[in-house]
């Protein structure tokens, strides 16, 4: 199953989008505020200049006199080397200055500002009104204008700064949002790891409470695991119950048949009972193997790995098969090393597989022969079973491991055809 | 046919007369031809040819092929030529910082991003249009013969005291600029007036002693050197130094209270036909060695003597060019200087 989309990528992309919008907004705001501040500074200086000129106006014998204060114009040179124009106008006409300079609209006591083109360059102009004279008041308008090159230089600097601020904010916010996305998604990774690390039989509910967003998923998973646990338990119970219910009555029937067989003298009847016992044996074996096969199938899906000493496995299995071997006068030889030979695996499954192989050897081997079981340790751990049986006769090993298929040379021996299937399934 | 030709000649002659009537006054004119001639650089200047000849020749040595056309005129004539009459020159060199500033402010100059100007202190250039290239103090010169063993006054207060104490000794023996025409005299007088009230007291005293008024530094220096004057106030220091080396007989006093330092400056008019050579000339002037005879811009000298105050380029210089302000200033000046004799 391939993943479709990524929460992390979606989260990061959306955060980055938001940050891009915020960065642009920051740029615009910083630029606008700083620009307004710079323009305000120029306006303030212009107004101060015009006011100081207006303050130096006086009347002498009805005539207006003016001495420009040196600072009125020199202060305009402090910001930048911008060109400066001025004009002083009374109701009677221009008193002094640049006659073609246009005054801004002003009210008494409130300077007026305007921006326009003068002699081919943008100028910012301020006009201040002042009433002069004792008896007949005369209104004088003082206009001071300055080109805006300094302001443009400041504006370029502001734009550069605002760009740097915007870009810096964007980069920082992007880095932080990557961190935030990773942090937000960390609980998912933690829970995934906890589930992955579990053993095959561990179907307990998740122990650590997940965050609210993962709560439904965790609850669903826990519910699913509980159902699975119940289902597995029922299957196991069923197999154990079935084994018990089938094996015990069959053993009873077989014992009774043996008793009858011993008491009978009539060879025909004895033969019939003998056939019966044979059928019972076969049924018992088949049932046992079918249950074994089910168990193997069940367990291999929930494989439990733990260290198993193969020598113990061989000894135990040989002991279990000793009575049958004795019956057929077959000697079971064990060739085991002194040191333990340990492999990782499911002990029940391994025993089931080995039991079936050895069972085959004992069953199909000739009377009065020997079966040797040896365990070798090395690069590859192996259990070898050597017998004097008919072998597989070159038949396809794959075919033989199919269910209910029996080799050609086995027609006269009891067998379900499930032994090798079980062995293969375990392997 | 003959008649037609002479009519045409007459027309030309009439036009020449008309042009002469319109044109500004030319004091002197010199051409330094180059051969072969590649271009012509037309300079209008207020500096005497004697002062400027070595500079022009040095420039021509570095830029062969540039014919230099050097026109000398007064400061206000230079202003009138460029500001009102639209005369075409490639470079304007003037000692009137205020008029140069006004030319630039009113849009008659073109910018020149001079690499040499980057090392200039910020008071020595304006808008990449006006470039100061000399620093010349306004000084007092005193006659050795007149003062003899007496202490020579070292500042304005010390100067006022003996003038008040011995009016008869100094009457008619003091010289200063007639500030009424625009130029160096007006510039330093207005700067004096804005720096110290002592200026007006000095003018009052000078007026009471019937001080003699001069148009130019040269004549004042000559009269002091000859003993006709006891002292001259606000003389161009560079000229005085040159004359002192040449003839002697006087002493140069840089007042210890404050010294106005004037910058001779160059600007390239908007109407320049040959701005390329003009820019080269500006760069050449800015890297001027002391060998040229003119004192180059030297911020270290200002740091060494805190009384030296360079006049700054900037819109402040427009103040005393204002008609009403100028009227008011000249009113005060005239009432000080003509209190005894009355206005001529």
Query: Which chain B residues are closer than 8 Å to A85 by Cβ?
Result: 105
CA dihedral over B223, B226, B232, B234, signed as positive or negative: positive
Is residue B8 pLDDT above 80, yes or no?
no
Collect all residues with Cβ–Cβ distance below 8 Å to B88 and sequence separation of at least 6: B42, B269, B271, B272, B273
B137-261+319-337 has the same fold as B2-135+263-310: yes
User: Which has the minimum average pLDDT: A343-347, A387-391, B35-39, B175-179?
Assistant: A387-391
B111 at the A interface (CB within 8 A)?
no
Tokens in use for A230?
């119940």
Interface test with A, best of B124, B126, B324 (most A CBs within 10 A): B324
CB-nearest to A77 from B315, B323, B328 is: B315
**Across chain B, what does the average pLDDT equal?**
87
Locate tokens 């000249």: which residue? B330
Domain range annotation of chain B: 2-135+263-310, 137-261+319-337
Give every residue of chain A whose pLDDT is below 50, as ranges: 394-395, 400, 402-418
The H-assigned helical ranges of chain B are 2-22, 49-62, 75-83, 97-105, 144-147, 156-165, 167-170, 184-195, 198-208, 217-225, 237-246, 275-286, 299-304, 323-337
Task: Name the A residues in 67-86 with CB < 8 Å from any B CB.
Answer: 67-74, 76-77, 81, 83-85
Contact state of A119 with B107 under an 8 Å Cβ cutoff: yes
CB A268 within 8 A of CB A235: no
A120 and A204 in a common domain: no
CB-nearest to B328 from A65, A70, A84 is: A65
Question: What's the pLDDT score for residue A202?
Answer: 77
B323 at the A interface (CB within 8 A)?
yes
Question: 10 Å Cβ neighbour count for A291?
Answer: 19
Collect all residues with Cβ–Cβ distance below 8 Å to B91 and sequence separation of at least 6: B41, B42, B43, B44, B266, B267, B268, B269, B272, B278, B281, B282
- Where in the sequence is the domain holding A150, given as residue range(s)? 7-160
CB-nearest to B325 from A67, A119, A121 is: A67
Q: Is A182 inside any structural domain? A: no
Looking at the 3D structure of chain A, how many domains does it have?
3
Query: Which chain B residues are closer than 8 Å to A77 by Cβ?
Result: 312, 314-316
Query: Which chain A residues are closer than 8 Å to B107 by Cβ?
Result: 83, 119-121
CB-nearest to A68 from B312, B314, B319 is: B319
Beta bridge partners of B191: none
A295 and A315 in a common domain: no
pLDDT (tens digit per residue) in A129-174: 998 876 677 889 999 999 998 888 888 998 899 899 999 999 999 9
Q: Which secondary-structure segment (H or E) carries A104?
A: none
Question: What's the pLDDT score for residue B209?
Answer: 93
B331 at the A interface (CB within 8 A)?
no
Contact state of B127 with A81 under an 8 Å Cβ cutoff: yes
B184 at the A interface (CB within 8 A)?
no
A112 and A51 in a common domain: yes
Which of A257, A279, A302 terminates a domain? The answer is A302
What is the rounded CA–CA span in Å between residue A202 and residue A195?
9
User: Which has the minimum average pLDDT: A297-311, B16-30, B116-130?
Assistant: B16-30
Question: What's the pLDDT score for residue A205?
Answer: 81
Q: Is A409 inside any structural domain? A: yes
Q: What is the CATH number of domain B2-135+263-310?
A: 3.40.190.10
A310 and A298 in a common domain: no
Half-sphere exposure of A332 (CA within 13 A, CB side): 23
What is the rounded CA–CA span in Å between residue B186 and residue A266?
164
Which of A256, A282, A302 terminates a domain? The answer is A302
A135 and A28 in a common domain: yes
A252 at the B interface (CB within 8 A)?
no
Query: Which chain B residues are closer than 8 Å to A74 by Cβ?
Result: 312, 314-316, 319
Q: Is A365 inside any structural domain? A: yes
A317 and A293 in a common domain: no
A126 and A18 in a common domain: yes
Question: 10 Å Cβ neighbour count for A284?
Answer: 19
Instruction: Quickly state the pLDDT bin for B210 (edges 50, 70, 90).
Output: very high
Q: Is A189 inside any structural domain? A: no
With H, G, I as helix, E, B as strand and everything else as coil, classify residue B204. Answer: helix
Which residue is closest to A80 within chain B, CA to CA? B127
With H, G, I as helix, E, B as strand and everything else as coil, classify residue B125. Answer: strand
CA dihedral over B186, B189, B193, B195, signed as positive or negative: positive
Query: Which chain B residues are closer than 8 Å to A67 by Cβ?
Result: 324-325, 328-329
CA distances in angstroms from B236 to B49, B191, B241, B300, listed in the order given: 16, 14, 9, 20
pLDDT (tens digit per residue) in A347-399: 777 777 777 777 777 777 777 788 887 777 766 667 777 776 665 554 455 55
Is residue B101 pLDDT above 80, yes or no?
yes
Query: Which chain B residues are closer than 8 Å to A76 by Cβ?
Result: 315
Query: Which chain B residues are closer than 8 Å to A59 by Cβ?
Result: none
Longest dimension (CA), chain A: 171
Which residue is closest to B103 within chain A, CA to CA? A83
A339 and A207 in a common domain: no
Is residue B20 pLDDT above 60, yes or no?
no
Which residue is closest to A95 within chain B, CA to CA? B324
Beta bridge partners of A113: A126
pLDDT (tens digit per residue) in B235-292: 999 889 988 998 888 999 999 999 999 999 999 999 999 999 999 999 999 887 645 6
The CATH architecture annotation of domain B137-261+319-337 reads 3-Layer(aba) Sandwich (3.40)
Distance from CA of B319 to the nearest CA of A (A): 6
Q: Is A122 inside any structural domain? A: yes
Contact state of A84 with B315 under an 8 Å Cβ cutoff: yes
A59 at the B interface (CB within 8 A)?
no
Is residue B12 pLDDT above 50, yes or no?
no
A140 at the B interface (CB within 8 A)?
no
Mean pLDDT of B332-344: 84
Q: Is A169 inside any structural domain? A: no
CB A286 within 8 A of CB A270: no
A332 and A416 in a common domain: yes
With H, G, I as helix, E, B as strand and everything else as coil, classify residue B306. Answer: coil
Q: Is A316 inside any structural domain? A: yes
User: Which has the minimum average pLDDT: A97-111, A123-137, B124-138, B322-336?
Assistant: A123-137
* pLDDT: which is higher, B98 or B117: B98
A123 and A28 in a common domain: yes
* pLDDT: which is higher, B233 or A206: B233
Query: Which chain B residues are closer than 8 Å to A83 by Cβ?
Result: 104-107, 127, 315
Contact state of B325 with A84 under an 8 Å Cβ cutoff: no
Which of A243, A270, A302 terminates a domain? The answer is A302
Q: Is A380 inside any structural domain? A: yes
A279 and A146 in a common domain: no
Contact state of A73 with B316 under an 8 Å Cβ cutoff: yes
With H, G, I as helix, E, B as strand and everything else as coil, classify residue A356. Answer: helix
Collect all residues with Cβ–Cβ distance below 8 Å to B90 and sequence separation of at least 6: B41, B42, B43, B268, B269, B272, B273, B274, B275, B277, B278
Contact state of B325 with A97 under an 8 Å Cβ cutoff: no
CB-nearest to B314 from A68, A74, A95 is: A74
A151 and A55 in a common domain: yes
Question: What's the pLDDT score for residue A380?
Answer: 66
């Amino acid at each position: 199953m391939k993943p479709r989309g990524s929460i992390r990528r979606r989260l990061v992309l959306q955060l980055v989008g938001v940050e891009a919008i915020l960065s642009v907004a920051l740029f615009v705001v910083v630029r606008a505020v700083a620009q307004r501040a710079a323009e305000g500074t120029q306006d303030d200086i212009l107004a101060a200049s015009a006011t100081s000129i207006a303050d130096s106006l006086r009347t002498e014998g009805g005539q207006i006199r003016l001495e420009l204060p040196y600072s009125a114009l020199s202060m305009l040179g402090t910001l930048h080397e911008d060109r400066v124009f001025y004009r002083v106008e009374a109701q009677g006409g221009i008193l002094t200055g640049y006659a073609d300079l246009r005054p801004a609209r002003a009210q008494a006591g409130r300077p007026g500002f305007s921006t326009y083109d003068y002699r081919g360059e943008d100028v910012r102009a301020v006009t201040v009104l002042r009433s002069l004279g004792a008896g007949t008041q005369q209104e004088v308008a003082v206009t001071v204008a300055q080109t805006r090159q300094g302001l443009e230089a400041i504006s370029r600097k502001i734009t550069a700064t605002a760009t740097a601020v915007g870009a810096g904010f964007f980069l920082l916010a992007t880095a932080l949002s990557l961190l935030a996305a990773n942090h937000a998604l960390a609980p998912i990774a933690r829970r995934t790891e906890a589930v992955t690390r579990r053993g095959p039989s561990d179907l307990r509910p998740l122990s650590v409470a997940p965050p609210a967003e993962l709560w439904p998923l965790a609850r669903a998973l826990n519910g699913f695991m509980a159902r699975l646990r119940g289902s597995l338990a029922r299957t196991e119970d069923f197999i154990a119950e079935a084994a018990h219910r089938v094996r015990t009555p069959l053993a009873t029937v077989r014992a009774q048949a043996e008793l009858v067989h011993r008491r009978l003298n009539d060879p025909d009847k004895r033969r019939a009972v003998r056939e019966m016992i044979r059928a019972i044996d076969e049924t018992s074996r088949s049932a046992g193997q079918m249950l074994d096969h089910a168990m193997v199938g069940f367990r291999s899906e929930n494989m439990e790995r733990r260290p198993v000493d193969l020598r113990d496995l061989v000894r135990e299995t040989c002991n279990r098969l000793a009575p049958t071997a004795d019956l057929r006068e077959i000697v079971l030889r064990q060739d085991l090393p002194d040191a333990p030979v340990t492999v990782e695996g499911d002990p029940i499954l391994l025993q089931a597989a080995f039991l079936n192989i050895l069972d085959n050897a004992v069953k199909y081997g000739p009377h009065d022969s020997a079966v040797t079981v040896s365990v070798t340790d090395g690069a590859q751990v192996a259990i070898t079973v050597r017998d004097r049986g008919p072998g597989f006769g070159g038949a396809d090993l794959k075919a033989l491991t199919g269910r209910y298929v029996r080799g050609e040379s086995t027609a006269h021996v009891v067998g379900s055809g499930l032994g090798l299937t079980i062995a293969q399934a375990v392997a | 046919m003959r008649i037609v030709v002479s009519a045409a000649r007459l027309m030309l002659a009439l036009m020449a007369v008309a042009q002469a009537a319109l044109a500004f006054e030319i004091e002197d004119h010199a051409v330094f031809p180059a051969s072969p001639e590649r271009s012509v650089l037309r300079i209008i200047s207020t500096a005497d040819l004697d002062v400027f000849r070595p500079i022009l020749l040095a420039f021509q040595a570095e830029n062969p092929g540039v014919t230099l056309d050097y026109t000398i005129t007064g400061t206000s004539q230079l202003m009138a030529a460029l500001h009102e009459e639209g005369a075409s020159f490639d470079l304007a060199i003037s000692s009137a910082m205020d008029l140069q500033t006004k030319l630039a402010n009113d849009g008659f100059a073109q910018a020149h991003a001079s690499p040499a100007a980057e090392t200039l202190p910020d008071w020595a250039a304006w808008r990449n249009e006006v470039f100061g290239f000399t620093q010349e103090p306004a000084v007092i010169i005193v006659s050795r013969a007149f003062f003899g063993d007496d202490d020579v006054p070292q500042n304005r207060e010390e100067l006022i005291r003996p003038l008040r104490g011995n009016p008869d000794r100094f009457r008619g023996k003091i010289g200063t600029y007639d500030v009424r025409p625009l130029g160096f005299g007006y510039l330093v007088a207005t700067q004096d007036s804005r720096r110290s009230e002592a200026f007006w007291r000095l003018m009052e005293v000078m007026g009471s002693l019937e001080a003699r008024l001069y148009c130019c530094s040269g004549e004042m220096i000559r009269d002091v050197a000859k003993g006709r004057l006891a002292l001259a106030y606000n003389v161009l220091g560079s000229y005085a130094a040159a004359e002192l080396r040449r003839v002697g007989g006087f002493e140069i006093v840089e007042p210890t209270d404050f010294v106005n330092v004037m910058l001779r400056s160059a600007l390239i008019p908007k109407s320049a036909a040959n701005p390329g050579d003009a820019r080269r000339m500006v760069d050449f002037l800015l890297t001027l060695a002391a060998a040229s005879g003119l004192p180059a811009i030297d911020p270290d000298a200002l740091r060494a003597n805190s009384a030296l105050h360079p006049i700054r380029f900037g819109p402040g210089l427009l103040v005393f060019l204002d008609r009403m302000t100028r009227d008011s200033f000249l009113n005060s000046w005239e009432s000080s200087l003509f209190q005894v004799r009355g206005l001529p």
